[in-house]
Structure 1
């Protein structure tokens, strides 16, 4: 979710669920060490519980990045061993690390030494010509041996040669059964599942089959109301929010951002899917998309967009 789940997106999503763990964009260890650390790591306290997602393959660099992130108080630190992007392959991290479980074990051991927060691993079931039935349990056993007790498994292979990142999210077949078997094989571990889950009913079904959690990415971004507003019900909480409440609660956050010199589209680009599949949704998206990028755009653009959704003759979806 690089370039997607920034702090504005996470604040917006947190208004729809108080329980779900939110993850940062994947940040490389090198960026934390050498880049604009505050901009990369800062977040609002309302975002808790929140996990910092790191990418890297050098144990010492990852340890230093975790040490530098420690004062920010993340609830979890996650090592991404699942991203198939060319940008991360060239740096020898992301999904390519599925081929080097011993190195992953060294990385997480170094990270754990620098934080009291849980260190978790997000991975694929395998890459390229690997046999997931063999590779995945060996990977889990090796990395768990270094002290990791929580794995988020994207139930697809990653094809590092021949498929784009987008194709890697769609073409390799899903193998939920393998991930469910991993939970039975390693009952002492927290095993969460990721990949292809687009609705809460599907997530609930997977939870009923035995996994400990479900990670939802793009569906939660493109249709946040449908996915996130009912999420707390999975914990038995009452859910009384609606999309209009979310817009109302975003107003002071947007106003503060604008007063600090920020631009409207930096926030509203994450809000385009809020009224997905509702009357007026297309007009909501159009007004925000065209108006929020204009110089001096302010809350009046949000109000204009909201009026399109409320209009009784609002155009189609």
Structure 2
């Protein structure tokens, strides 16, 4: 993919999030935005090479454009895993160089690789030699006490190795002393550092990640970077995605409302129920859909209590939707 095409395709991305951005979540997000770039949860190379690939990598065709995020640090293994993922139909291979969890560090990958730009470059080069889709890297601005110029050194090596795009979480990661959750909020945001990186590499697509919650703010950031990536904001308030296609791509959203998106999701839910997927595995991604609106609490409560029951079906979702409609009518009548 040409750099210009990569810039356009990554104007808005939904971050890979462990235990959150599974295939059910991604299908629902796609019903809210046709154009947002979606990412899988991180999948380790060992899991792909030795595990149940259909379970780990399977996805619904409507999820395109879809990227798989890989976790690993061994070039040959990453190249093989990337090739397998492309055979499954993924549009992009993304390498995790940002996760600070102790488990990931023990596997010698994630954010600790910020200290080993030569190794990351070797990983990128190995994957580029095996696959025809973009190979991208998601990283931090640095780890622990690394100086500001560490990001530039890191970028220089991975870009020279062929990385097609960098997603930069604008916080350092503290590998000791902070939990992964704390690492998402305690280290201060430094958007200026990411903007400076873009000035240093004007021809390399740079996507800004970290702390973005408002569509207007995200649009403003596009003056200095090529794209934005949001995580928790998209998951906890998925209705935000209804504004993405109009705001970032000049196109109508695929659904006119939250209710319309849910109606479109029901056939998918029923198909997965028929395969034996529990209803709660799908509805857990919907809990924040009506946040801030009348009936949101009743919607969440009904799904949380009823979707977990044995044999729960799509009627549970329809009932939850009705609660929102009833509350909205009641408020309008007051």
Place the TM-score, normalised by the shorter chain, in its bin: over 0.9
Instruction: Select 2:177's aligned residue among 152, 157, 162.
Output: 162
1:201 corresponds in structure 2 to: 216
- Distance change (3 Å), C-alpha of 1:69 and 1:149: closer
Q: Secondary structure at the match of 1:92?
A: coil
User: When the two structures are superposed, what TM-score results if normalisation uses the length of structure 2?
Assistant: 0.92
Instruction: Select 2:37's aligned residue among 9, 16, 21.
Output: 21
Instruction: Select 2:76's aligned residue among 38, 44, 60.
Output: 60
1:232 corresponds in structure 2 to: 245
- Shifted more, 238-247 versus 170-179: the winner is 238-247
1:73 corresponds in structure 2 to: 89
- 1:315 deviates by 9.9
- 1:157 deviates by 0.1
User: What is the count of residue pairs matched by the alignment?
Assistant: 313
- 1:313 deviates by 6.9
Report the RMSD for the aligned CA atoms in angstroms.
1.3
1:280 corresponds in structure 2 to: 295
Instruction: Select 2:145's aligned residue among 104, 111, 129.
Output: 129
Q: Secondary structure at the match of 1:52?
A: strand
- Shifted more, 93-102 versus 237-246: the winner is 237-246
1:125-152 per-residue CA deviation (whole Å, 9 max, x = no partner) reads: 0000111x21000100011110113000
- 1:81-230 equivalences under 5 Å are 81-131=97-147, 133-208=148-223, 210-226=224-240, 228-230=241-243
Unaligned runs of 5+ in 2: 1-16
Q: Secondary structure at the match of 2:155?
A: helix
Tell me the distance in 2 between the aligned counterparts of 1:175 and 1:294.
45
Tell me the distance in 2 between the aligned counterparts of 1:26 and 1:206.
26
Structure of higher RCO (CA pairs closer than 8 Å, 6+ residues apart): 2
Q: Secondary structure at the match of 2:186?
A: coil
1:35-82 per-residue CA deviation (whole Å, 9 max, x = no partner) reads: 110111110110000001000011111011112222111111000100
